[in-house]
Chains A and B, each alone.
Chain A
């Protein structure tokens, strides 16, 4: 499903170079739930961005769902992300002045889907994420848990095979983190491939993950 071979990501400035990912080789199978663990600056977010096609690796081979993402142009990787990947961000990044419905439908707007098709998919995603009852509420008026479910609904609205989440529990209390784990567990049962980057112990101790990848200074230090 996801194959990284000797992937490097080097950020260059005029005066120095910073290696964010250093020779990463990782294979993730379809339906696997993977935790990327490591301290701040260990390269977790960079690795997620590379898998999502937001960033290009400086060197190495990247294949996601049989597409060699390391070599495709930006427009292609954007389309790929739109059709195959769902993103959940650290602070959810909902558009505050839009309603839940409008936030969730956003990834489908630039597609060729008709408005009716897009609406049906949006309703389905909101149902799955248990936020349909709040569809007309503005994102800024939602509680933390509701924002989380709205972000999950937006991540799954395009029926992606892969869901990526970057530090999803960073701003959550214990209860909400547990709730998030439950939501991910539901998606796991739908055979979604889930990759979560986090250094949260609550997530680490959960039974959600089939694989835990330890990152340290851009390198994989351990895989369990």
Chain B
């Protein structure tokens, strides 16, 4: 590395301070918008996937008039007879709408689950959670996700919470603990309550369940068993974990389109700049290049110094944009950007972004930014450097 050239390069950045400052902040803004959107997407996607990983292989729901309805528990015995099934259990869960004037949207939906009935049907993490807090549930208390707790606190509920059944009965339930383990998108808004209370809150009668969950040891049997359940009960909707995964993926592909559009706009803007700038540099810059050529600088020397100069600028912009995006998304919880994913009238409790970064995508953005931007500045410089310097000097 020629230190003399590096010094010249730093001095060159310094003497074009105003221009470089505008460029730096322009790039910082565009890149931060793009990267913070990506960070938000990665984070939400990872939380959703974490929720899906907790689900049983098959969920059986009853459909009446196109809507889900409570399902008879006796169906469990018929389903259990199908070969290849590990276990079948009923599940009590649903959404509980809590409204309060102090909430941003006026009200939110919590996920209420009766854990003691179905805990075996969940994957290891929730089972562990149930075992860990077994005493809490046994005492008739509830376990809350962090965001669920923060939300009810706004309604002045610190130690307990009042549920209202569909019949209008008020049920007071003490808060056993707030579980940090419930960090996923759905988990953070979860209220885990004893099964009999969940049934009352959700208005599910004793002989009924919200749905039936089926554990299948061999993944290859899932589709076959799904078909058999539908044949057995044509009024049911059988959802596999893959179905849910596909549904979420479709949603994120749609949202992903937004980023693609942003990214394309960003790339296109840079491309237009390249196109515009490749037609030539300003007179002053041309003269400077011609002077350097005339006093003995090779084309390589000029390209090298301009490359260093602009590399420092773009690289510092990209790194700053990554740091700024990280702070916006994971420290300030992605204001504005989050609302692009969840419209303001969605009745889900607020949730906190959990850092999850897909390095390959970030590297992709850095690479595209570097290549496009450096092409943007180096093509016209190269074009100026290869022409006869005496022409530019006249």
Residues of A near any B CB (own CB < 8 A)? 45-46, 49, 52, 54-55, 74-75, 78-79, 81-83, 85, 87, 89-90, 93, 95-98, 102, 105-110, 113, 115, 118, 154, 158
- A78 to B292 Cα, complex, angstroms: 10
- A131 to B293 Cα, complex, angstroms: 24
8 Å CB contact of B291 from A79, A89, A113 = A89
The reply to whether B288 and A95 form a contact with Cβ atoms under 8 Å apart is yes
Please indicate the chain B residues that have their CB under 8 angstroms from the CB of A82 in the complex.
295-297
The reply to whether B388 and A102 form a contact with Cβ atoms under 8 Å apart is no
Most buried by A among B5, B288, B389, B390: B390
Any chain A CB within 8 A of the CB of B81? Answer: no
8 Å CB contact of B8 from A54, A93, A102, A158 = A102
Please indicate the chain B residues that have their CB under 8 angstroms from the CB of A75 in the complex.
298
8 Å CB contact of B293 from A78, A102, A158 = A78
Query: What would be 8 A-B contacts, judged by CB atoms less than 8 Å apart?
Result: A45-B394, A46-B390, A78-B293, A81-B294, A82-B297, A96-B284, A108-B4, A109-B297
- A85 to B4 Cα, complex, angstroms: 21
* Shortest CB distance A41–B (Å): 12
The reply to whether A89 and B294 form a contact with Cβ atoms under 8 Å apart is yes
The reply to whether A110 and B5 form a contact with Cβ atoms under 8 Å apart is yes
The 4 tightest CB contacts between A and B, nearest first, are A82-B296, A97-B15, A110-B301, A93-B291
The reply to whether A106 and B295 form a contact with Cβ atoms under 8 Å apart is yes
Most buried by B among A81, A107, A109: A109
Minimal Cβ-Cβ distance residue in B for A85? B296
8 Å CB contact of A93 from B2, B5, B296, B393 = B393
Contacts A89-B291, A109-B5, A110-B2 given; does A79 touch B296 at CB 8 Å: yes
Among B367-394, those with CB < 8 Å from A are 388-390, 393-394
Contacts A98-B11, A102-B11 given; does A109 touch B4 at CB 8 Å: yes
- A102 to B8 Cα, complex, angstroms: 8
Please indicate the chain A residues that have their CB under 8 angstroms from the CB of B241 in the complex.
none
Minimal Cβ-Cβ distance residue in B for A53? B296
* Shortest CB distance B209–A (Å): 78
The reply to whether B388 and A54 form a contact with Cβ atoms under 8 Å apart is yes
Identify whether the interface residues of A are mostly helix, strand, loop, or mixed. Answer: helix
The reply to whether A87 and B295 form a contact with Cβ atoms under 8 Å apart is yes
Minimal Cβ-Cβ distance residue in B for A108? B4
Count class of interface residues, chain B:
20 to 34
Any chain A CB within 8 A of the CB of B220? Answer: no
Please indicate the chain B residues that have their CB under 8 angstroms from the CB of A87 in the complex.
294-295
Any chain A CB within 8 A of the CB of B3? Answer: yes
Any chain A CB within 8 A of the CB of B67? Answer: no
- A54 to B287 Cα, complex, angstroms: 15
The reply to whether B390 and A54 form a contact with Cβ atoms under 8 Å apart is yes
* Shortest CB distance B287–A (Å): 6
Contacts A55-B388, A95-B288 given; does A107 touch B298 at CB 8 Å: no
Given A83-B296, A95-B291, A107-B295; 16 other pairs, CB 8 A cutoff: A45-B390, A54-B390, A78-B296, A79-B296, A79-B298, A81-B294, A82-B297, A87-B295, A89-B291, A97-B15, A97-B16, A107-B297, A109-B4, A110-B2, A118-B4, A158-B296
* Shortest CB distance A3–B (Å): 21
8 Å CB contact of A110 from B291, B296, B394 = B296
The reply to whether B295 and A49 form a contact with Cβ atoms under 8 Å apart is no
- A113 to B2 Cα, complex, angstroms: 10
Minimal Cβ-Cβ distance residue in B for A82? B296
Minimal Cβ-Cβ distance residue in A for B294? A87
Please indicate the chain A residues that have their CB under 8 angstroms from the CB of B295 in the complex.
81-82, 87, 106-107, 154
Please indicate the chain A residues that have their CB under 8 angstroms from the CB of B11 in the complex.
98, 102
* Shortest CB distance A20–B (Å): 11
* Shortest CB distance B149–A (Å): 60
- A45 to B290 Cα, complex, angstroms: 15
8 Å CB contact of B390 from A49, A78, A102, A105 = A49
Please indicate the chain A residues that have their CB under 8 angstroms from the CB of B394 in the complex.
45
- A154 to B301 Cα, complex, angstroms: 18
- A143 to B297 Cα, complex, angstroms: 27
- A75 to B295 Cα, complex, angstroms: 13
* Shortest CB distance B17–A (Å): 10
- A98 to B7 Cα, complex, angstroms: 12
Most buried by A among B7, B291, B296: B296
Please indicate the chain A residues that have their CB under 8 angstroms from the CB of B299 in the complex.
74
Please indicate the chain B residues that have their CB under 8 angstroms from the CB of A118 in the complex.
4
**Binary CB contact string for chain B from 337 to 357 against chain A (1 if under 8 A, 0 otherwise):** 000000000000000000000
